[in-house]
């Protein structure tokens, strides 16, 4: 069965520090992978997606993610975190066949210290 | 662009009451979805509508019904609300792809 694991429930970083949020997936075929961000009281905004091609994908707000098939991972990175990045981040894998389905991880809540 | 619009944004119900959550999209998308979000569990799919006129169960459909009123609108109904249905509900839509666009959510509390 398809699943997504985000091992870190909460992460705290200092402003200006680098960030890596982990995501591991379980999916039998070539995965379609997504990172979404949710600011407090808001809906989900797409940060970036991987469908095929270059395994390093660039997203909005200075985020990037790298797809590593051998590790079943799709970790999200940012070289220098801003206070406005404090939010909850969700990794998702997309499954086709029948209907277009997204399976979400439990999320990682990011706090940023000044 | 409005995108995906959900109403209401907040609601408090008593156990046993009924309620309909509304969702409308203006992107001419074929597919629409209802999720619930609970702490530590991410988003779980309640129901989806792959196209106008069709609806199907997702991962957690018990206690809910849906109606795809037309291509734009997809409503979620709680016939007899229970405290376990206290959650944040998100509607999403997509074209033929997996790229889903989300509304801002409805925060529902059931006492």
Q: What is the pLDDT of residue A97?
A: 63
pLDDT at residue A73 tops 80: yes
Rounded to a whole number of angstroms, the distance from the CA of B111 to the nearest CA of chain A is 21
Mean pLDDT computed over A87-99? 83
**Is the pLDDT confidence value at A95 over 90?**
no
The partner residue sitting opposite A102, judged by closest CB among B96, B100, B105, is B100
Substitution target from B42, B51, B66 for chain A, most A beta carbons within 10 A? B42
What average pLDDT does the segment A5-25 reach? 96
Q: How confident is the model at residue A98 (pLDDT cuts 50, 70, 90)?
A: low
Report the 10 Å Cβ neighbour count for B70.
10
Mean pLDDT of A6-34: 93
Chain B residue numbers with beta carbons less than 8 Å from the beta carbon of A3 are none
The mean predicted confidence, pLDDT, of chain B is 93
Q: What is the pLDDT of residues B38-66, one digit of tens each?
A: 988 889 999 999 889 899 999 999 999 99
Q: Is the pLDDT of residue A67 over 90?
A: yes
Predicted confidence at residue B36, as pLDDT, reads: 97
3-state secondary structure (DSSP) of residue A61: helix
Distance in Å, alpha carbon of B105 to nearest chain A alpha carbon: 6
Q: In terms of pLDDT, which residue wins out, A42 or B32? A: B32
- C-alpha–C-alpha distance, residues A39 and A47, integer Å: 12
Q: Give pLDDT, residue A31.
A: 86
pLDDT of residue A42: 85
CA distance B93 to B102: 7
Interchain CB distance below 8 Å, A9 and B48 = no
Task: List pLDDT tens digits, range A28-50.
Answer: 777 899 999 999 888 899 999 99
**Chain A residue closest in CA terms to B32:** A100
Query: Which residue pairs, CB below 8 angstroms and at least 24 apart, start in A42-45?
Result: A42/B104, A42/B105, A43/B4, A43/B90, A43/B102, A43/B103, A43/B104, A43/B105, A44/A90, A44/B43, A44/B90, A44/B92, A44/B102, A45/B102
Q: pLDDT at position A62, please?
A: 96
* Length of chain A as a residue count: 114
Question: How high is the pLDDT of residue A99?
Answer: 63
- Can you tell me the distance from the alpha carbon of B7 to that of B11, in angstroms, rounded to the nearest whole number? 10
* Beta-carbon separation of A99 and B42 below 8 A: no
């Amino acid at each position: 069965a398809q699943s997504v694991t985000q091992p870190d429930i909460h992460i705290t970083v200092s402003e200006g520090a680098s960030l890596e949020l982990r995501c591991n997936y379980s999916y039998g075929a070539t995965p379609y992978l997504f990172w979404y961000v949710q600011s407090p009281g808001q809906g989900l905004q797409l940060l970036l997606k991987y469908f095929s091609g270059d395994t390093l994908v660039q997203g909005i707000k200075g985020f990037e993610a790298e797809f590593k098939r051998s590790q079943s991972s799709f970790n999200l990175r940012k070289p220098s975190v801003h206070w406005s990045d404090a939010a909850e981040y969700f990794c998702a894998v997309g499954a086709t066949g029948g209907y277009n389905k997204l399976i979400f991880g439990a999320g990682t809540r990011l706090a940023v210290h000044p | 662009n409005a995108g995906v619009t959900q109403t209401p944004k907040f609601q408090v119900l008593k156990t046993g009451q009924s309620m309909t959550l509304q969702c409308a999209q203006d992107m001419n998308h074929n597919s629409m979805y209802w999720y619930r979000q609970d702490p530590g569990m991410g988003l779980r799919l309640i129901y989806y509508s792959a196209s106008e006129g069709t609806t199907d169960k997702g991962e957690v459909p018990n206690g809910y019904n849906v109606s795809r009123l037309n291509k734009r609108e997809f409503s979620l109904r709680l016939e007899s609300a229970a405290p376990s249905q206290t959650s944040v509900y998100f509607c999403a839509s997509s074209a033929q792809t997996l790229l889903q666009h989300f509304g801002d959510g409805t925060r529902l509390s059931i006492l």
